Amino acid sequence: MNHLEKYVLVINPGSTSTKLALFLFQESGVAEKVEKTVEVPLQIIEEKPHYLDQISFRLSQVRSFLKENGVSENQLVCIASRGGPIKPLPAGTYKVTKHVCDDIMSGRVLTTHSSLIGPVVAYNLSQEWGIPAYFTDPVSVDEFIPEAKVSGLPEIPRYSALHALNMRAVARKYADSVGKTMDDLTAVIAHLGGGFSIGAMEKGRLIDSTNPNEDGPFQLERAGSLPISDFVDYIYDNWPDLKALNRRISGKGGLVAYFGTNSFKDILSLSKEDKNKALVLQAMYYQVGKYIVAMNAVLKGSAEVIILTGGIMHNPEAIDGIKRYTSWMKKPYAVYPGGYEMEALALGAWRVMKNVEPLKDYEVSDYGN
């Protein structure tokens, strides 16, 4: 690559792979130059099943990625990392600091997830190279109104965990397309990928949303909301251990439990061959539509647009299936298939470095203790 060009390095770890990208840092924004997904070998996962034990290996993946693309650390303006479920935070971009890493390493987080290795890797490299590292709109973004946090049991409140990064990215894209800022936008946003988040955005703030691991429609691999009494009976009758139970409802639930595959392309094909499977797929559209309507109710009917995003939205049949239950609201639709997480991370870093928006403060707290 051109040695005069400057780049944002983007790091997005998953449980079995790491997405890496280089974005050209420009006056007007960022432009993707290269993106690659590098696998984490099964041997590493078996030897070091806890993601925080994989730090040195993930660091080596980043170094190899830069070397194979002919980019040196002195060409990097900053690092942009996925944030993960750190702790409840307002939306925005934060600097990765020692305090952030201390919270992750000591378990003061909303929940454990492999994405939490991202800020730790980014911080290590930022200290070595003398450049800042940032994370933007983690899944623990919490802008819920108080009513959204009340459940039917005081000891089990609802909490915010959602695909905030992509939801806010597409909201910003839509707002730009109609000559508005995201802070002026009120919309229902449905992220429908591997997990589903259906949220209500009021003036740029996600004031309520389904939680892909807790409630909402059933998804590709997740069970969503379940009949609670029957679920309690199921737990006692089957005596599963906690890990197996969690795996059943998040990993082996949802469409994969009915179809035996998490490939939506295969699910569409199978639904055309089997009327029972067709009913299950229709039920998923039904549930997605039901929660879209519910989130518009949260907004008192004021949503100006329904935004659909995520990998499932590459399929026109899925879009039509959802509209069957929501078109009566007479709202316009904006569809952004796939995900924009890598670009959103790079742009979040760019905006704070260019003073387009302020850097948010990450305050050390005793959350999780």
Q: What span, in angstroms and rounded, lies between the C-alpha atoms of 22 and 79?
A: 10
Contact criterion met (CB below 8 Å) for 15 and 30:
no
pLDDT tens for each residue of 157-197: 999 999 999 999 999 999 999 999 999 999 999 999 999 99
Write down the CATH superfamily of domain 146-338. ATPase, nucleotide binding domain (3.30.420.40)
3-state SS class at 308? strand
pLDDT of 261 strictly over 50: yes
Q: Is the pLDDT of residue 364 over 90?
A: no
Q: What is the pLDDT of residues 134-160, one digit of tens each?
A: 999 999 999 999 999 999 999 999 999
Helices assigned H by DSSP within the chain? 42-47, 55-68, 98-105, 117-129, 164-177, 228-238, 242-249, 255-259, 264-273, 275-298, 316-326, 341-353
Angle, alpha carbons 157-158-162 (nearest 5°): 155
pLDDT surpasses 90 at 241? no
Hey, what amino acid is at 312?
A: I
CATH architecture for residues 7-141+342-353:
2-Layer Sandwich (3.30)
- For the beta sheet containing 133-136, the strands, ordered from the edge strand earlier in sequence to the opposite edge, are 30-39, 17-25, 7-13, 76-81, 133-136, 93-95
Looking at the DSSP assignment, which residues form a beta bridge with residue 328? Answer: none
Helices (H) and strands (E) counted in the chain, each on its own, are 12, 11
pTM: 0.95
Domain with CATH 3.30.420.40 in the chain: 7-141+342-353, 146-338
Q: Is 229 exposed, middle or buried (0-12, 13-18, 19+ CB in 10 A)?
A: exposed
Token pair in block for residue 190: 């449905």
**Inter-axis angle of helices 275-298 and 316-326, to 10 degrees?**
60
**Residue among 188, 154, 163 at smallest CA distance from 331:** 188
Are 322 and 308 a contacting pair, CB within 8 Å? yes
Q: Please tell me the distance from the alpha carbon of residue 115 to that of residue 164, in angstroms, as a whole number.
A: 14
What integer is the mean pLDDT of 360-369?
Answer: 65
pLDDT of residue 366: 53
Beta bridge partners of 135: 81, 94
Which of the pair, 127 or 112, is modelled with greater confidence? 127
